[in-house]
Amino acid sequence: MEAGVACNFNCPTWVESSENFARKSTGSLLFGRISKHGHRVRVAASAQFPLQTSSNRQRWASFELSCSSFNNLSASTLETGSVRAPYDEALMLKKKSLEVEPYLNGQSIYLVGLMGSGKTTVGKILSHELGYSFYDSDALIEQEVDGISVAEIFKCHGESFFRKKETEILQKLSSKKQLVVSTGGGAVVRDENWDYMQKKGIIVWLDVPLEALARRIAAVGTHSRPLLHYEHGDPYTKALKRLSYLLEQRGKNYAKANARVSSEAIASKLGYRDVSELTPTEIAIEALNQIEGYLKEEGGMAIAEL
Ligand SMILES: Nc1ncnc2c1ncn2[C@@H]1O[C@H](COP(=O)(O)OP(=O)(O)O)[C@@H](O)[C@H]1O
Ligand SMILES: O=C(O)C1=C[C@@H](OP(=O)(O)O)[C@@H](O)[C@H](O)C1
């Protein structure tokens, strides 16, 4: 009887086809069956999904399958082992945002970090998931200055003009709630910008290793980032040199953020060899984790009187 049940129960298929089960960290399933000899049996399965993932985005689940007759509750174990289960980052993001959203209480999220750290990319994902409005402060400045690019603004009007506009934009946004704002990499330098961002917002630092930033910037070119125009060499070297300097200047400012999202820490938690394996969605999930931690630990819910 037990062998018959074990054969009919294809555990890997079950785990992979059960969406609800696969996205939880633990789960169990109980159901009855009538064997071909007419015996009624009870089958129980339980599984554990550890946080760790392997680099090809599969989660390992360990399972135990046991069976007992209905009138005898002592179960005998049929099978134990581990199977690969799909790792659905979109579902994890949705679940996390539903968890964090009530704690946020409408507070805006301001993403800070060096150029190329993913503020725009991750910001769009977060805003979509939370149902918040997305703003890119650089894009708003460009709109205000006759639609010319940030690079042209630096060239025609100078950096201090740009910084003044940046502060004005942050001031305008500071009265609004339920925003995700991708700030420019230099927004953290002016104290007044912090006052505006903190008024109804949480400040989140996307901390990405310099080499990864330089690789990303080199891939798209340095033309749109005027602060890199002063350097010589190929795009990667130019970006790495300038970013190292900027991090020295601004590191202490970024570190004042309410929450820090370290790409290196996420990659190591997920078992990846390099931060380049991280997807923007995985970074968005970690941003929500860090925001949740901040709100719970620091009583951040009380910050915004909305
Ligand atoms: N997690 C990521 N992995 C790989 N490339 C990324 C990641 N996040 C962003 N990028 C890429 O890096 C570049 C800069 O990203 P962006 O979101 O514009 O950064 P920022 O707004 O901080 O300057 C873009 O080409 C983007 O597609
Ligand atoms: O680091 C900086 O000072 C800057 C970063 C840029 O924004 P991103 O961080 O979105 O690239 C842009 O605001 C401007 O080129 C200056």
Q: Which of 208, 29, 19 is nearest to 112 (CA)?
A: 208
Give per-residue pLDDT as tens, 18-53: 334 434 456 666 666 666 677 676 667 676 655 444
Does the Cβ of 130 fall within 6 Å of ligand 1?
no
The answer on 61 and 24 residing in a single domain is yes
The answer on 98 and 81 residing in a single domain is no
Residue nearest atom 5 of ligand 2, based on CA coordinates: 185
The answer on 99 and 83 residing in a single domain is no
The answer on 261 and 215 residing in a single domain is yes
Which of 87, 121, 139 is a domain's end point? 87
Q: Given this model, what pLDDT does residue 232 score?
A: 84
Does the Cβ of 59 fall within 6 Å of ligand 1?
no
Give per-residue pLDDT as tens, 94-124: 999 999 999 999 999 999 999 999 999 999 9
Which of 52, 87, 122 is a domain's end point? 87
Give per-residue pLDDT as tens, 283-299: 999 999 999 999 998 76
The answer on 159 and 66 residing in a single domain is no
The answer on 184 and 52 residing in a single domain is no
Q: Given this model, what pLDDT does residue 298 score?
A: 72
Q: Tell which one of 117, 138, 230 to mutate to probe ligand 2, the residue whose CB is within 8 A of the most ligand atoms.
A: 138
- The span from the CA of 27 to the CA of 63, in Å, is 9
The answer on 172 and 64 residing in a single domain is no
The answer on 188 and 96 residing in a single domain is yes
- Tell me, in angstroms, the distance from the centre of ligand 2 to residue 53's CA: 34
The answer on 126 and 63 residing in a single domain is no
Does the Cβ of 116 fall within 6 Å of ligand 1?
yes
Q: Given this model, what pLDDT does residue 65 score?
A: 72
Are 183 and 189 in contact by the 8 Å Cβ rule? The answer is: no
The answer on 8 and 46 residing in a single domain is yes
Q: Given this model, what pLDDT does residue 35 score?
A: 65
Does the Cβ of 200 fall within 6 Å of ligand 1?
no
User: Residue 208 CA: which ligand 1 atom is closest?
Assistant: 1
Strand pairing partners for 204? 111, 259
Residue 13 structural domain: 2-87
- Tell me, in angstroms, the distance from the centre of ligand 2 to residue 94's CA: 30
- Rounded mean pLDDT for each run of 10 residues along the chain, 306 residues in total: 36 38 53 67 65 53 69 72 75 96 96 97 98 98 96 96 98 98 98 98 98 94 85 90 96 98 96 95 98 83 44
The answer on 95 and 71 residing in a single domain is no
* 185 phi and psi angles, rounded to 5 deg: -55, -25
Q: Given this model, what pLDDT does residue 302 score?
A: 44
Q: What CATH number is attached to the domain comprising 246? A: 3.40.50.300
The answer on 279 and 201 residing in a single domain is yes
Q: Given this model, what pLDDT does residue 31 score?
A: 61
Pocket (CB within 6 angstroms of ligand 2): 115, 119, 138, 150, 184-186, 225-227
Q: Given this model, what pLDDT does residue 115 score?
A: 96
- The span from the CA of 73 to the CA of 70, in Å, is 7
Q: Given this model, what pLDDT does residue 304 score?
A: 44
Which of 87, 105, 138 is a domain's end point? 87
How far is residue 109 from each of residues 101, 120, 135, 136, 204, measured CA to CA in Å? 11, 12, 10, 12, 7
Ligand in nearest proximity to the CA of 142 = 2
Residue nearest atom 12 of ligand 2, based on CA coordinates: 184
Are 90 and 281 in contact by the 8 Å Cβ rule? The answer is: yes
Query: Looking at the 3D structure of the chain, how many domains does it have?
Result: 2
Residue given tokens 């999930």 in the structure block? 285
- The beta-strand segments (E) located in the chain are 26-34, 40-48, 58-69, 76-86, 108-112, 133-136, 179-182, 201-207, 259-262
Count other C-beta atoms under 10 Å from residue 25's C-beta. 11
